[in-house]
Structures are given as structure tokens and as C-alpha cells.
């Protein structure tokens, strides 16, 4: 198996980084090929701009997604983008490792998605969800946060964290064809003692050991919708 771990935390000694290292060590111990994109360590540029293309289809007006499609066909994507695409193409499993910022992911990881999930390769037209460019690959989110688990539930003040992360789980990973595994969340991390952190780390290691039986999130099936995806058929 080929695994790509995209890690987005600015502190190498953080608990999030410990979860990232545990994942790398687990899959390496299983004989998997593990590649890493440590976005802060490599100072990945998260800003999508006209500089992402070494040549342009339309020089006077930038429509970023259309320029992505042109560059993907012409081989004119910037090298740092192409390198990340190559890693994803090689992987069977993509793991995103990050702390929760404002109900979302860090900006550097969002920028990685903006620049790397290229229109025409990852998605486009009817190539979404079960027909997306990344079909046949799995994705797993591993995120940490300061809030308590009961705060992020149907009864809690913040609602279910899986619902809050719908733009990532469904609108990004599912949309581009990944089989999206049930996410893993580490709650209340900055306030836990060492034993509680070891317990979360143990749960994470167990989740990785049982990854082949981990639940998969339900996603739309394109064939169940009309030609313009506006309504269900039947």
C-alpha cells in the first residue's frame, strides 16, 4: 500500500505532530510506502494565483479553474503543485493531519487543496463523487481540537463535528472521488494530562490497525440524479 500523509501543524513537538508520526511509523512497520507533505516544514505556498502556471491559456483575465485545466493538459503547472499531484496519484490512502481552526482546517492546508486539487484531473463536469478523478483511493482525516467531545454533538453548542466538516469530507474529498473514511478527532487536547493523551494516541493506533474495517461515509451516487444533478431519478 502507498500512503500519503499531509501534515499541517506549525509545532513539531505538538500532539497533532505525534499523531502524524504515529501514522507514519505504523504504516512503515506494515511494509507500506509512506510519503509525507509537511506543509509548515516545507513552507508550502498556500496562495492560488496566476503564478501557478508557467504559461496561460488566457493572459488577460484569470479564471483559475480553467487555467488549471489548461495547465494540466499542457504540462505547465508550477513544479510544487505537480509534485503534490504526483504524490496523490501514487497513493492508495491519503491522510490529512491538522488542528481545528475556526471550525475548519488551517489556511495552509486549505491552500494546498486549492492549488493541488486541480480542475480537469480531480474533478470536472460529471466527474464528481463516484465518478471523480480520485475514485479507487481512500482518505482519512485526523484532527485535534481544544473543545470537549460532548460540545460537538447534536445536543452540544457546536453541533456534530462531522457536520461542521462537511465542506472537507463531502465537498472536497468525496466530491473528487475519494472513499472517505470515518474521521478521527482528538478532543480537548491542550488541556489533557499525559495519560489522557496516551489514551487518544492508543485509540489512533487502533484505528490505523483496523483501517480496512473503518466505516465509510455515504456519498451521492451520480447515476441516481438527473443529467444536471438537480433532482433524483425516480
The Cα-based distances of 4 to 111, 116, 164 in angstroms read 17, 14, 24
The answer to whether position 208 is within a domain reads yes
pTM exceeding the 0.85 threshold for the entire prediction: yes
CATH number at residue 131: 3.40.50.360
Residue 147 has pLDDT above 90, yes or no: no
In a domain, 202, yes or no: yes
Segments forming the whole domain that contains residue 25: 2-224
Give residue-wise pLDDT tens across range 91-144: 999 999 999 999 999 999 999 999 999 999 999 989 999 999 999 999 999 999
Cell numbers standing for residue 80: 510544487
Q: What is the grid cell recorded at 116?
A: 493541488
Q: Does the pLDDT at position 37 exceed 90?
A: yes
CB 219 within 8 A of CB 173: no
Number of folded domains in the chain? 1
If 0-12 CB within 10 Å is exposed, 13-18 middle and 19+ buried, where does residue 105 land?
buried
Amino acid at each position: 500500500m502507498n500512503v500519503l500523509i499531509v501534515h499541517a501543524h506549525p509545532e513539531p513537538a505538538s500532539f497533532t505532530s505525534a499523531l502524524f508520526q504515529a501514522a507514519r511509523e505504523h504504516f512503515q512497520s506494515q511494509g507500506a510506502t509512506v510519503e509525507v507533505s509537511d506543509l509548515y516544514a516545507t513552507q508550502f505556498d498556500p496562495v492560488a494565483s496566476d503564478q501557478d502556471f508557467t504559461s496561460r491559456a488566457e493572459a488577460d483575465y484569470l479564471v483559475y479553474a480553467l487555467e488549471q485545466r489548461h495547465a494540466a493538459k499542457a504540462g505547465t503547472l508550477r513544479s510544487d503543485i505537480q509534485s503534490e499531484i504526483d504524490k496523490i496519484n501514487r497513493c492508495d490512502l491519503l491522510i490529512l493531519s491538522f488542528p481545528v481552526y475556526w471550525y475548519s482546517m488551517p489556511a495552509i492546508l486549505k491552500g494546498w487543496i486549492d492549488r493541488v486539487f486541480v480542475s480537469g484531473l480531480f474533478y470536472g463536469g460529471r466527474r464528481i463523487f463516484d465518478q471523480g478523478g480520485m475514485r479507487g483511493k481512500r482518505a482519512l482525516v485526523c484532527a485535534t481540537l481544544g473543545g470537549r467531545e460532548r460540545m460537538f454533538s447534536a445536543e452540544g453548542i457546536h453541533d456534530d463535528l462531522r457536520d461542521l466538516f462537511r465542506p472537507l469530507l463531502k465537498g472536497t474529498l468525496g466530491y473528487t472521488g475519494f472513499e472517505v473514511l470515518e474521521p478521527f478527532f482528538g478532543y480537548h487536547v491542550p488541556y489533557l494530562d499525559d495519560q489522557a493523551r496516551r489514551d487518544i494516541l492508543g485509540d489512533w493506533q487502533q484505528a490505523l490497525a483496523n483501517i480496512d474495517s473503518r466505516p465509510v461515509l455515504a456519498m451521492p451516487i451520480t447515476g441516481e440524479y438527473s443529467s444536471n444533478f438537480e433532482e433524483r431519478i425516480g
